[in-house]
Amino acid sequence: MTEQKRKALNGIPMLLLFIALIIADIALLIFAGRNKITPLLITCIAALPVLLILLAGFFMVNPNESKVLQLFGRYVGTVDDSGLRWANPFFGKKAVSLRVRNFESGKLKVNDSAGNPIEIATVVVWKVVDTAEAIFEVDDYESFVHIQTEAALRNLATAYPYESHNDEKLTLRSDPQEIANLLQKEVQDRLNKAGVKVIEARISHLAYAQEIAASMLKRQQAQAIVAARTQIVAGAVGMVEIALQELSKKQIIELDDERKAAMVSNLMVVLCSEENAQPVVNSGSLY
């Protein structure tokens, strides 16, 4: 079932025509009654309800809206020309909005690929692009969008880890754009038969579940401390190396291996310590 465009007559000229016909019919009815012209009288009386029934063919199409037309259960087309329109009065007319809409899922609790419980939610921007599929292929296309979006989000969340623990290439936390693209594709694949186009899909909430949030926070803090310490040590080693090279290059002082070891130890303590260095004046000899 695919959408078929159908043209409906402009409602303004048709409205003026029917008003003229009704006025003419009433005038002829009065004329036939006064002059006792029975055939004309019967014709005018029969024409009046027919004209009133034809008035039921008028309908309004708002901007960014379509009307799906059905004749005794059979789909006959979709009218998307805005304004007052007229079609067969026996057509059933169902409005379908073509406006862009937002849907924000609730916070879902799922396990990521590493088995950690997480909370995740998404925002999906979508619109109807095929009214026939939206009306006839699914029972309720809005509910279908909501349910399939949550199903796609659950499937995506279980396929990737929350954050990298074993050098994973793609994670929910570190690669938001790539995850958004994958989520949009997954949601779109599920909604193709509903005549819906997914314009954008993004994760709006992502966090560890409450029962493990404190433990994971400690883990993140430990990883941050280790990373910071690694960078400090790497910088300190470089500074010590430069200091020894400059002392040797400028021949300021000749250091044997034992003095170099003592100097390196002192510099590493000063550079890597969290507390301010406490200088000690050595008035004697190292030996």
Nearest to residue 282, comparing CAs of 268, 264, 266, 261?
Answer: 266
What is the pLDDT, as a whole number, of residue 79? 92
What are the DSSP calls for 172-200, one per residue?
A: TTT-HHHHHHHHHHHHHHHHGGGTEEEEE
pLDDT the model gives residue 276? 60
DSSP annotation of 99: S
Average pLDDT along the chain, 287 residues, taken 10 residues at a time: 88 91 88 82 86 90 92 91 91 92 89 84 93 91 92 91 72 87 92 92 85 61 68 76 72 66 69 61 52
Look-up of token digits 């379908």: 96
Give strand ranges (E) for 112-242.
Answer: 117-128, 196-208
Predicted local confidence at residue 162, as pLDDT: 82
> Residue 35 class from Cβ within 10 Å (0-12 exposed, 13-18 middle, 19+ buried)?
exposed
Bridge partners, 120 (sequence order): 108, 206
